[in-house]
A and B are shown apart, each in its own frame.
Chain A
Amino acid sequence: MSNLELTGAVKRHPLRMICIGVAILSGVGIYLVNGKIEETQTLLTQKSAEAERLAANVRDGAQLPEQVNALTAAGAKIQARMIKASQLANNLQYFYRLENESGVELLDVRQTTSGTKNAAGGVGFAVSVKGDYPTLLGYLRRLEGGPNYCRIVSTSIAAPTPDRSGLLTLSLNLELLGQP
């Protein structure tokens, strides 16, 4: 269609031509807007998820400072109850003090491991004590519920004679929670 013919058609049917123009422009507009809508909806979904995550973090973290403070305080108490593997004299003093308090006779005490190199862990001890049954039980109670965290790895209690007269011997391999 030449320009002349187009001009003639516009002059003959101006309304139709305007309508065709509007329809073409609207079609292009719909195409462009739909693309933009899709893009924006994807972005909105992502941003909404991020906003929800951040809001959840803020909501869930409301009590965190208090909880962290409580845990830090607990951590400090734990730290205070841990022995230092390198301080042999202090560590052995603990067992001598227990002997004094519980009334058992300490036959032997040795630190068997030097503990972990850089993290908290069990520091091994081999202990032998002698006493009657209630005294040995009291000693064990003090050891397991005492100021240091203790776990008994192996133990043996034996009667000294077949007629069960005399004092019992308690041999322990235990670990106290310690740090280097």
Chain B
Amino acid sequence: MLSLRKKSSDAEEPLPAWHPDFRNFQRLPDTKVIRTSFLIGGAATLIALLLLTWVSYRAYFLRDLHAQLNLVQGQIDRDKSPSDQAIAQYKKFQAESARVNEVSTFLKSRPVVSDLLLNLGKTLPDYVAIDRFDLNATTLNLRGTVRGAPDQASGRASTYLQLLKSDPYFTDKFSEITLLNLNRGTQNNGLVLELSFKLKEAKKP
């Protein structure tokens, strides 16, 4: 029975060729179509050319960047002086506008009393008479008389309060309008009314 195992190389010496080989390999023609040295030379040339192209491209890119830099520097040189002048003008503008703002703030920090009186007059019903008007830093206090019998006068006071609360001028100027007091006066002709108006964003002058 034949063994399937591979025989070891040194187990048995190979048989010599059955006839002598008289070929002279040095003198025989080369049968390779392309020689290995040509391939190596070609690959080396290709790599060198690629690297050379890349470095040339990057150098061109750098040159382009320098050109852009020169262009931008030109713009800077051109705009520097007008820009400095504009900045100086702007500082002057700020200083001048500060003065205008100062006046505006000064005037807007307090309500215009004549406007306030005119609007009170416009909204004042026939049955209410104002006896005292006190405006201080944060509030306006009004004291007046509501004509009529006490039951009628109290209803009128409530109507007047609602009227003030719904008036756009007063809602714009005051954050809160409250009835402080509603009592019989010394004279028997109605009720004494006391109202308090809290100023919006009350600023200490």
Contact = CB atoms under 8 A, between A and B. Distances in A.
Contacts of B79: 51, 54-55, 57-58
B200 interface: no
Contacts of A109: none
Interface in B74-114: 75-76, 79-80, 82-83, 85-87, 89-90, 92-93, 96-97, 99-100, 102-103, 106-107, 109-110, 112-114
B85 A30 contact: no
A71 B100 contact: yes
B180 interface: no
The secondary structure that dominates the A interface is helix
B9 interface: no
The secondary structure that dominates the B interface is helix
Nearest to A158: B132
Contact of B65 (A18, A44, A137, A151): A44
B117 interface: yes
Interface string A126-137: 000000000001
B90 A37 contact: no
B140 to A, nearest CB: 9
A16 B62 CA distance: 30
A101 interface: no
Interface residues of B, number: 60
Given A15-B41, A78-B103, A54 B80 contact: yes
A153 B106 contact: no
A157 B130 CA distance: 10
Interface of B: 37, 40-41, 44-45, 47-48, 51-52, 54-55, 58-59, 61-62, 65-66, 68-69, 72-73, 75-76, 79-80, 82-83, 85-87, 89-90, 92-93, 96-97, 99-100, 102-103, 106-107, 109-110, 112-114, 117-118, 129, 131-137, 186-187, 205
Interface of A: 13, 15-16, 18-20, 22-23, 26-27, 29-30, 33-34, 36-37, 40-41, 43-44, 47-48, 50-51, 53-55, 57-58, 60-61, 64-65, 67-68, 71-72, 74-75, 78, 120, 122, 137, 140-141, 144, 149, 151-159, 162, 164, 175, 177
Given A34-B58, A61-B82, A78-B100, 10 more contacts: A23-B48, A29-B58, A29-B59, A47-B76, A50-B76, A65-B89, A74-B100, A144-B112, A152-B135, A153-B205
